A and B are shown apart, each in its own frame.
Chain A
Amino acid sequence: GAVVSQHPSWVICKSGTSVKIECRSLDFQATTMFWYRQFPKQSLMLMATSNEGSKATYEQGVEKDKFLINHASLTLSTLTVTSAHPEDSSFYICSARIGGIGTNEKLFFGSGTQLSVL
């Protein structure tokens, strides 16, 4: 199956600092990637849709100035958590889509990043 690589796997940072998370599609090109947030024992909540070469689309309630998304190439999307605070501590997961709308569309997920803000 397709491989999506996400780094780092975990990060601990001080309150007020910024953290960048990378999501790469290793063996395919992904024009669209997605960023999710997951709290313990809860499901994945979509934060934003990242489109190569254009601005990301954010879900309601997600601060675009706090969660900066850049999708500069067909294989890389980054999520930067700016001025992180303890309430931003969570498990962040990216995914990439294979197949367009109307075809056998599948999502493949990265391994996730556990962010802990002290």
Chain B
Amino acid sequence: EDQVTQSPEALRLQEGESSSLNCSYTVSGLRGLFWYRQDPGKGPEFLFTLYSAGEEKEKERLKATLTKKESFLHITAPKPEDSATYLCAVQARYSSASKIIFGSGTRLSIRP
């Protein structure tokens, strides 16, 4: 069964304190792994798509990496405005977007 597990469930950091969020997945052939940011009471905002092991993508203070079993979202020198829930999702090969499976998210809180 396809599954996505994110850890930790919640993470509190001091401003400027770098860290990583983990997304472990099992899927019958990975077609794509997605990272989204979700603010309270809002819909998810697209961040990255990764397609193959070894791939990396960066956007401002965020960098996403992918292996055959997990993905990491590295946050470098975070600021309070980076506080949000970060969602990971996977899509199996030969499936449509209707079969994207979401993890339960990591709630990130950055203290000034």
The answer to whether A binds B is yes
Q: Assess whether B59 is interfacial by the CB under 8 Å rule.
A: no
Least distance between A39 CB and chain B CB atoms (Å): 10
Q: For B91, what are the chain A residues with a Cβ–Cβ distance below 8 Å?
A: 105
Number of contacts between A and B (CB, 8 Å)?
56
A43-B104 in contact (CB<8A): yes
A43-B102 in contact (CB<8A): yes
- Interface majority SS (helix, strand, loop, mixed), chain A: strand
Please provide the chain B residues from 53 to 111 with a CB less than 8 Å away from any CB of chain A in the complex: 87, 91, 96-98, 100, 102-105, 107
Please provide the chain A residues from 76 to 103 with a CB less than 8 Å away from any CB of chain B in the complex: 91, 93-95, 97, 101
B residues whose Cβ falls under 8 Å from a Cβ of A:
32, 34, 36, 41-46, 49, 87, 91, 96-98, 100, 102-105, 107
Nearest B residue to A46 via CB reads B98
Q: Assess whether A106 is interfacial by the CB under 8 Å rule.
A: yes
Q: Assess whether A67 is interfacial by the CB under 8 Å rule.
A: no
In the complex, which of the residues B36, B96, B103 has the most CB atoms of chain A within 10 Å of its own CB atom? Answer: B96
Given A111-B42, A114-B41, 15 additional A-B pairs, CB 8 A: A32-B96, A32-B98, A34-B97, A41-B107, A43-B87, A43-B105, A44-B87, A46-B100, A91-B41, A93-B43, A105-B97, A106-B46, A107-B97, A108-B46, A112-B42
